[in-house]
Structure 1
Amino acid sequence: MTDQNIPKIMTTVAALVAPSSPKAQENSSMTPKAFVYTEVAISVPFDQAPWLKINEVIKTQPGFLNKTWLQGHSTQTIGGFYAFDSLENARRFVTEYFPSEPRAFGVAHNTRVFDAQAVKEASDDMGSVHFGGSRAQKPGAFVYTELQFSMPFDEFSWQPRNQALKQQTGLQNKVWLSGVSTNTIGGFDAFDTLDHALDFAINAFPETAAKLGSAFYTRVFDATITEEASRQMFSPYYG
């Protein structure tokens, strides 16, 4: 992707914009029933992405509560972690609206839908800001993890894993993830610094996956780059 393509992409995405929903900020305080993870297969500096226009479109999507923008560390991929008021609206988002974003860039993309109700207790125990946890500290980085491991979350022994995670250097809070239909288990974790996030993703988490005999997927994101864009989308990581 070249810099010359950016204005054209911005124009294409701008054409999708509808007036922002007056209920968007009101809805942002609701308890989520579903989470969505997205990542678009592009590499572009975040300040060149048309996030202002995209924000206005996303605020109008049915059931949207909040979004945390993501910029891949070293890869500069662009994505997001979203909360929705229902699984139905989360599915609608990934099947009806979201494909229009990467289509405008002419690239492939990745989406995942997760059941937020199934993981509420375990996430509460890890201070998840999506369920009312403290927002006193701004994150320096995010880590997304997903195990190639299928188990209904109510059968997963999350308590001992939480105890171990609470000892992880730099981990501020965690949202557990349970894949809709797949029952994959993962997490979206906030860290105080990029170095601590990288240590977890590169060193600690692979050890956990090895104990389970499972392949895994990890991504590290620099939270400082996307703070302004995330604040505009009511991200609960910023007070």
Structure 2
Amino acid sequence: MSANAFVYTELQASLPFADVPWDKLNDAIAVQPGFVDKTWFSGLGNNSVGGLYGFASVDDALLYCTDFFPALARDFGVAQTTRVFDNKATAEASAAMDAPHFGGQVTAEPGAFVYTEVQVAVPFENAPWQDRNPVLRRQKGLLSKTWLSGHNTNTLGGLDAFDTVENALDFAINEFPITTATMNAAFYTRVFDARVTEAASRGLNSPYYL
């Protein structure tokens, strides 16, 4: 089963990943309708907990965001963030950046992930990804990029896999703000330590690991 939609989640919690009951949660997540895979996230510097999920359809993704995940946040007693993305429009752009959900081969395991989202409404077919991809290819330490286009919002963003936390931070802090300034738009960036979540991600078929 292929992933035709993505879900981004993040809990407003500070919990070292070693203390997250991910094995129990993996069992519950794996049986959700349309679930394909999950890459776990642990917030660098704040220990937030979240992930990027693949679902078979947008409807399955929306069900997860309106039913299962809010109940999970209530169990933790924290606020939460969810986003839904339709993969169809971004498939070509993501495949061109070696995104593992779109046929890209993992040649090195990630040390960090960067999630980005820009506060614009641009249908992805009008997004200048053909110009942006070559620039991203020159970004130090970038392993792959999965482009994201917001369901019902057309926000632009992505999940970028980096070889090290240091290179991920350089991109999030120094490089990405330059890009968004040219767009005259506010933006959202998050950096996640991919090393501490490897076992949990492997347990839910994350395609980012060898």
Category of TM-score, reference length = shorter chain: over 0.9
Correspondences of 1:191-210 after superposition (within 5 Å): 191-210=162-181
1:38 aligns with 2:38: no
Shift of 1:31: 2.6
- How well do the aligned residues superpose, as a CA RMSD in angstroms? 0.6
Partner residue, 1:13: none
Partner residue, 1:166: 137
Question: Residue type matched to 1:221 in 2?
Answer: F
What does the per-residue CA deviation read over 1:77-110, in whole Å, with 9 as the maximum and x for residues that have no partner? 0001000010010000000111111111111000
SS, match of residue 177 in structure 1: strand
Distance 1:49 1:194 in 2: 21
Distance 1:200 1:130 in 2: 22
Q: 2:51 aligns with which of 80, 90, 113?
A: 80
What does the per-residue CA deviation read over 1:48-85, in whole Å, with 9 as the maximum and x for residues that have no partner? 11111110000000000000000000010000100001
Q: 2:78 aligns with which of 95, 107, 117?
A: 107
Distance 1:123 1:236 in 2: 14
Q: Greater shift after overlay, 64-73 or 129-138?
A: 129-138
- TM-score under structure 1 length normalisation: 0.87
What does the per-residue CA deviation read over 1:198-217, in whole Å, with 9 as the maximum and x for residues that have no partner? 00000000000000000000
8 Å CA contact 1:36–1:113 kept in 2: the answer is: yes
> Greater CA radius of gyration, 1 or 2?
1
SS, match of residue 150 in structure 1: coil
8 Å CA contact 1:141–1:223 kept in 2: the answer is: yes
Distance 1:63 1:130 in 2: 15
Partner residue, 1:156: 127
Partner residue, 1:182: 153
Distance 1:102 1:51 in 2: 14
- Is there any run of 5+ residues in structure 2 with no aligned partner, and where? none
Correspondences of 1:1-239 after superposition (within 5 Å): 30-239=1-210
Partner residue, 1:8: none
Question: Residue type matched to 2:10 in 1?
Answer: E
Distance 2:126 2:159 in 1: 20
8 Å CA contact 1:31–1:131 kept in 2: the answer is: no
Identical counterparts, % of pairs: 54
Distance 1:215 1:111 in 2: 18
Shift of 1:238: 1.0
Shift of 1:136: 2.1
- TM-score under structure 2 length normalisation: 0.99
What does the per-residue CA deviation read over 1:11-60, in whole Å, with 9 as the maximum and x for residues that have no partner? xxxxxxxxxxxxxxxxxxx3311000000000011111111111000000
Number of residue equivalences: 210
